[in-house]
Each structure stands twice: as structure tokens, then as C-alpha cells.
Amino acid sequence: MTKRIALVTGGTGGIGTSICKRLHDDGYQVIAGYYSGGQHEKAQAWQDQLKSEGYDIALAYGNIRDYESCEACIEGIKKDFGTVDVLVNNGGITRDTTLRKMTPGHWDDVIATNLTSVFYMTRLVINDMLEKKWGRIVNISSINGEKGQFGQANYSAAKAGMYGFTKAVAQEVASKGITVNTVSPGYIATSMIMDVPEEIREQIRQGIPVGRFGAPEEIARVVSFLSAEDGGFITGANISANGGQYMH
């Protein structure tokens, strides 16, 4: 059997890198989607670094908040590799501020990048999955989509919106061999968290029952589980991976 093709948006980030590595280890042909403000050299350096570690991961450029750019990205993948079997919608940004200070730009940027992109990318791969009668879609949400977070009305709304999208699409394609699920990480030890001042970081850590931040590899493990050939009976679900910080 030829390798399944897995596309990870935001693939060159902290969690995205671990997801790419794990799916590569699982035997997929992995493609890391990136935008990075058009910094192609940065993505190339990332690819070279992973290659030195034994990971042969392709790159696909695209602005996930622009439909035509997403379309060009998917068409390029189909031309070079074939149709996408596993889509991990992992790309996202933050524009944190309280609601009274939030501008329409703060709102629109986050909703477009974190939520509308999920529609764009899923819409562009779903017909090929339906034709194959097999597919895995994993949407990376957040603990703050589940419980909300001060100063993140835009981010929390976008991440919460993923749940409704996931459950609706899961019902549409469940009989066709396609699963659609969500993963909601808590605080993960990526550069975003480790760059927070130590005293604030310690306050966050103390609120996590397991007593530590998560590792990106632990989120990748959940994505691997949901993407597996024998994972077809789990769909429309959300898996919280937050060290017990939010239980429901």
C-alpha cells in the first residue's frame, strides 16, 4: 500500500513540529504547511534541521486565511504527492487584549486564521476523501476554547467554534469512512509558554493538577491515535489534553 499523505497546517511551529515527526514515524508522507509571513528561508531552515534528524518532511506554502492561497497549496500537494488523506488543522495566532480594547482587526485576524481557515482547508480536501471513502481530520483547538480565558474573547470564540464545525462535519461524512475530531491542548512547553516571565509561568504551572506543562510530543500522540487506520470508530469527539487543568 502506498503511504497515506498527511498535511499539518502550522507544521513548522512547536506543536506542529512534534505532530509532523510523530506522523512521519507512523509511516505517513508528511507535508508541513507554513506561511510565516512569507519567510521561506525560515521554513527551509526548519526542513533542513529535521532532515539532519532523519525526518524527510515536505513543505507546502499557503496563507490559511486566504481561500485562493489554500486552494493553490492543496493543488500543489495533489500534483506533487497525491490527495490528502490526513488533515491536521493546527495553524493559528493570538491577538490578546480585553474586549473593551479589542479592535475589529484583532477579532478578524484571529477568527480568519484560527477558524475560517479550518473551513477552507477541510472544504478543499473533503471531496477527495469522500471519493476514496477514507480520511482523517483533526482540528487543534485549546483549553481556552472550552473554558474561556481573560483577554482572549477572539481566540476563545475561534477555538470554541471548532467544536461545532467538527461535530457537524463528522455527521456529514461518518458513513463514508472519514472521521473528524478535535484535540484541546492545555499549556504546552513550547517557546510561547517558555518565553513568559518565570513568575507568571510558575503561577500557571501551579494551576495544573499534574504539576507540569505538557510536552508537544504528548499532543502529537493524541493526533497519531486519532489519525490511525484503526481509529474509525471515534468521530465528532474532543480530547482534552491539559493535565487535569479543566475537567468536564
What number is the average pLDDT over the span 94-98? 95
Q: Could you give the CA distance from residue 223 to residue 63 in angstroms, rounded to a whole number?
A: 23
Residue 244 domain-assigned?
A: no
Residue 204 domain-assigned?
A: yes
Please give the C-alpha separations between residue 183 and each of 106, 142, 161, 191, in angstroms, as whole numbers: 24, 7, 13, 20
Interval 150-162: pLDDT, tens: 999 999 999 999 9
What number is the average pLDDT over the span 194-219? 93
Residue 75 domain-assigned?
A: yes
Higher-confidence position of 21 and 195: 21
Find out whether 136 and 231 touch, Cβ atoms under 8 Å: yes
Q: Could you give the CA distance from residue 99 to residue 24 in angstroms, rounded to a whole number?
A: 41
Whether 1 shows a pLDDT value over 80: the answer reads no
Residue 243 domain-assigned?
A: no
Residue 240 domain-assigned?
A: no
Residue 187 domain-assigned?
A: yes
pLDDT for 55: 98
Find out whether 236 and 180 touch, Cβ atoms under 8 Å: yes
User: 245: pLDDT confidence band, cut at 50, 70 and 90?
Assistant: very high
Q: Smallest Cα–Cα separation from 85: which of 140, 130, 32, 35?
A: 130
What number is the average pLDDT over the span 206-228? 97
SS3 content of the chain, % helix, strand, coil (to 5): 50, 15, 35
Interval 110-169: pLDDT, tens: 999 999 999 999 999 999 999 999 999 999 999 999 999 999 999 999 999 999 999 999
User: 195: pLDDT confidence band, cut at 50, 70 and 90?
Assistant: confident
What number is the average pLDDT over the span 73-101? 97
Q: Could you give the CA distance from residue 64 to residue 119 in angstroms, rounded to a whole number?
A: 10
pLDDT for 12: 96
The dihedral through the CA atoms of 73, 79, 84, 88 has a sign that is negative
Q: Which residues pair with 88 in a beta bridge?
A: 8, 138
CATH number of the domain enclosing 160: 3.40.50.720
Whether 7 shows a pLDDT value over 90: the answer reads yes
pLDDT for 197: 86
The pairing of beta strand 29-34 with beta strand 58-61 = parallel
Q: For residue 11, what are the domain limits?
A: 5-234
Q: How many domains does the chain have?
A: 1
Q: Smallest Cα–Cα separation from 119: which of 155, 144, 89, 94?
A: 89
Percent of the chain with pLDDT strictly greater than 70: 100
User: 24: pLDDT confidence band, cut at 50, 70 and 90?
Assistant: very high
What number is the average pLDDT over the span 41-52? 97
Residue 231: all three cell numbers together: 481509529
Side-chain half-sphere CA neighbours of 91 within 13 A: 34
Helix axes 117-132, 67-80, angle to 10 degrees: 30
Find out whether 82 and 115 touch, Cβ atoms under 8 Å: no
pLDDT for 43: 96
Residue 155 is a catalytic residue: yes
Q: Which of 36-45, 79-88, 142-151 has the lowest mean pLDDT?
A: 36-45
E strands in 17-155 = 29-34, 58-61, 86-89, 135-140
Residue pointed to by grid coordinates 479550518: 118
Q: Could you give the CA distance from residue 146 to residue 159 in angstroms, rounded to a whole number?
A: 8
Residue 162: all three cell numbers together: 471548532
Residue 241 domain-assigned?
A: no
Helix (H, G, I), strand (E, B) or coil at 139: strand
Mean pLDDT of the chain, nearest integer: 96
What number is the average pLDDT over the span 44-59? 98
Residue 165 domain-assigned?
A: yes
Catalytic member of 155, 163, 187, 246: 155
